[in-house]
Amino acid sequence: MPANLPQSTRQILKRRSFLALFPGALAGAAFLPLFDFHPKILAQSPDNKDKKAGNLVCWLDVCAPFIVEDAESGLHSEIVLTSDTFVGAKGYADGADATEYEIYLYDADGKAVGAEGVAKRLVVPAMQMTVLSLREILGDSRKFWGGMRIRLRPKGRQPMHASDLFSSAFVRWKTESSFDNVHANPDPLQWQRADTFFYSMPFPPLAEYESVFSLFNPYAERSLGAITLYDQLGLKLREVPYELKPRSSLLFDLRQGDFVSDPRRAFGETSLRNHSGAKLLNPGGGTIAITNQQGSVKGFGYLLIKRTGTSRFSVEHPIHQAPFKPVRAPAPFDAAGRFKAKNILYTPLVFRAKRIGGVTLESRFHFSSGAPLEEFLWLNPFITDTEGNVAWQATAETKLPATISANQIERGVIKLGGMQSCMLDCAQLPLPKTFSGGLSLAVAPMTNHTLMKIETSVKEWGAHAFTHFRPGLKSARGYQAAPPRGGLATDYIASGARVERNGNRMVRDEVIGVMNIDDKGISGRPTLEIFTSSGLLTRIDLGDVPGFACHHYLLSELSSGKIGPHDLSLRLVDEQATLLMSVVHLDYVRRDLAQDHGSDRFSTFNDYSCDASV
């Protein structure tokens, strides 16, 4: 137990005994939107003949709402396909499983690229990571920006639909000085309907970050709605109506609260000089919410985030929810005053002045209530170390930092009303001087993990990257029940990794965070499988990971020079313990970082099937 915690805290928070502080904490699943599915499914793609109830095999869709190619400005995009649907624990090995992909590209005005509206078709063998250059798909050096829809369908030894839409396809953006990668977002059949959706996420302080939101309508119908910005206390700052033609895109500048037309605004230092005189709508952080009108189709978005005065950027995405009126509910405390959580969300990306791979990592967390199920969303964070001990938790003696308004704290727990947000900075917590671990976020009522963002920075580079938390344990138990899984307790995927040297100089490396969230006291002994475009390259034993412990590994140290300069997919497997994995990509040439939160290989298998009525 860290010596800097108060004595009473050290006595209470012994290893894993903190579970007693959260009655029922593991009883819930990650909140998913619930809808009354009566309207017809939209004909958003050329071929929907497979999209009917009862089919085991069908095309499912993901959307990437911002993709750009501008050689003159040095902006380039790549499409990364993982083909991670296969049967069994090692179904990738014999070549019997693959995934068919169809790529649809639409420019900002909604014009399709390619013959018959299809930019590219291909089949990718299971776990043979494939990287496509947008420039090569376009076939010329023209400028392009817009949105992308990808359709995918397994082609293998047994009929099944895609097992995880979150890890099936990624977009990677590159400039000379920065890079990032984010997965395309699922558009399951159940959501492809003309009805109102609430789409939100927190944004970081606008005095620190220039933020531009891209919104893409992937459908053949118009999308109408409003973009609304709220400050941290939920006060509405601005509401702007929008209208998107079929398959078209728009850009919205959060600092000014208005639309912009040039995607280069989100990249490069020039945007600061050109717009330095513009008045900030709000210097702090807040929440952005997009609501489409009843009878109108929804859109998909990315938030492009760039620190003021630099050319390094990061990209993160919101989450769709059903709009509803929050209900009143009693405060979630038992008779003894203990917090009664409905779920716990997780991230293994907690850093406090932590030196890894020759750089110093720091973490901040941005929490948002979005549209909570109840009048208030309650959050109780705690941090565990490499042994599974609690290194920090808010108590009467270890108070929450000043970055969280006193109006948002009750009984030592964070209390957010609708559209409210707050920030938790590891640098302001009484952690050891150099620390890495995992953060568990006990919540009540249920909420979505995507509303909880992680900001990791490298002190020496002045660089930053954003991603989000992982869902709760009951969600993981549901993933484990999928019949094609092969009985693995852990089956986690991250992509876009790379280890590369130029002589003695490091070019790329990976910080891999692994957290044991198993509630049965099982110590994990995970294996890291590394895949290239040719399939499995090697397996690495990561050693023991005790219950609720969080370990961080540097891939170059694990591989001992055995991995060449390849684009990599990483797979974490364990037969007994439930673990999760997130990754920090380090680029020593660009002096920049990116993050991949990782995803269970069956995270959408049960929820997003071929049945549009479920």
- Do 203 and 311 share a domain, yes or no? yes
Predicted confidence at residue 62, as pLDDT, reads 97
Residue 131's CB is within 10 A of a number of other CB atoms, namely: 14
- Do 158 and 222 share a domain, yes or no? no
- Do 311 and 236 share a domain, yes or no? yes
396-401, Cβ contacts within 8 angstroms, sequence gap of 24 or more = 397/6, 397/8, 397/9, 398/5, 398/6, 398/9, 398/430, 400/424, 401/425, 401/428, 401/429
- Do 316 and 211 share a domain, yes or no? yes
Tokens coding 556:
């170059």
Predicted confidence at residue 305, as pLDDT, reads 97
Q: What is the mean pLDDT of the chain?
A: 89
114 domain-assigned: yes
Strand bridging mode 505-516 / 413-417 = unpaired
Residue 88: CA count within 13 A, CB half-sphere: 11
- Do 176 and 271 share a domain, yes or no? no
For 172-208, write each residue's pLDDT tens digit: 999 999 999 999 999 999 889 888 999 999 999 999 9
Domain total in the chain: 2
**Residue that finishes a domain, picked among 252, 287, 321:** 321
- Do 140 and 81 share a domain, yes or no? yes
Cα separation of the two ends of the chain = 47
Lowest mean pLDDT among 49-53, 89-93, 377-381, 595-599: 49-53
CATH number at 224 reads: 2.60.290.11
Coil, strand, or helix at residue 504?
Answer: coil
For 265-289, write each residue's pLDDT tens digit: 778 664 444 444 567 889 999 999 9
211 domain-assigned: yes
For 326-373, write each residue's pLDDT tens digit: 899 999 999 999 999 999 999 999 999 999 999 999 999 999 999 999
Residue 219 one-letter amino acid: Y
For 230-250, write each residue's pLDDT tens digit: 999 999 999 999 999 999 999
291 domain-assigned: yes
Lowest mean pLDDT among 90-99, 140-149, 161-170: 140-149
Using CA atoms, how far apart are residues 184 and 79, in angstroms rounded to an integer?
A: 10
CB of 561 within 8 A of CB of 555?
Answer: no
> pLDDT at residue 107 above 70?
yes
Predicted confidence at residue 612, as pLDDT, reads 76
442 domain-assigned: no
CATH number at 116 reads: 2.60.290
203 domain-assigned: yes
178 domain-assigned: yes
Q: Is the peptide bond before 445 cis (omega within 30 degrees of 0)?
A: yes
Nearest partner of 164 among 185, 144, 180, 193, judged by Cα: 185
Contacts of 557 (CB under 8 A, 6+ apart): none
> pLDDT at residue 45 above 90?
no
Number of H helices, E strands in the chain: 5, 40
Q: Give the mean pLDDT of 25-31.
A: 35
| Torsion of Cα atoms, 278 then 264 then 511 then 345, to 10° | 60
**Residue that finishes a domain, picked among 271, 288, 321:** 321
Q: How far is CA 138 from CA 37, 106, 134, 164, in A?
A: 37, 11, 6, 28
Q: Give the mean pLDDT of 530-549.
A: 96
> pLDDT at residue 166 above 50?
yes
**Helical (H) or strand (E) element with 496:** strand 490-497
Using CA atoms, how far apart are residues 550 and 323, in angstroms rounded to an integer?
A: 36
Contacts of 247 (CB under 8 A, 6+ apart): 106, 110, 111, 112, 147, 216, 217, 218, 219, 220
Tokens coding 131:
């990287």
- Determine the distance from the C-alpha atom of residue 49 to the mean position of all C-alpha atoms in its chain, rounded to a whole number: 31
- Do 219 and 286 share a domain, yes or no? yes
- What is the domain range of residue 125? 60-186
- Do 155 and 208 share a domain, yes or no? no
Q: How far is CA 33 from CA 284, 302, 446, 605, in A?
A: 29, 19, 11, 16
pTM of model > 0.75: yes
Q: How far is CA 258 from CA 133, 198, 207, in A?
A: 32, 20, 17
- Do 224 and 271 share a domain, yes or no? yes
**Residue that finishes a domain, picked among 283, 299, 321:** 321
- Do 226 and 149 share a domain, yes or no? no
343 domain-assigned: no
Judged by phi (left if over 0) then psi (alpha if -120 to 50, else beta), residue 557 lies in alpha
157 domain-assigned: yes
Biggest CA pair distance of the chain: 69
Give me the residues paired with residue 492 across strands.
Answer: 572, 600
- Do 102 and 144 share a domain, yes or no? yes
Instruction: Return the CA Rg of the chain.
Output: 23
- Do 262 and 154 share a domain, yes or no? no
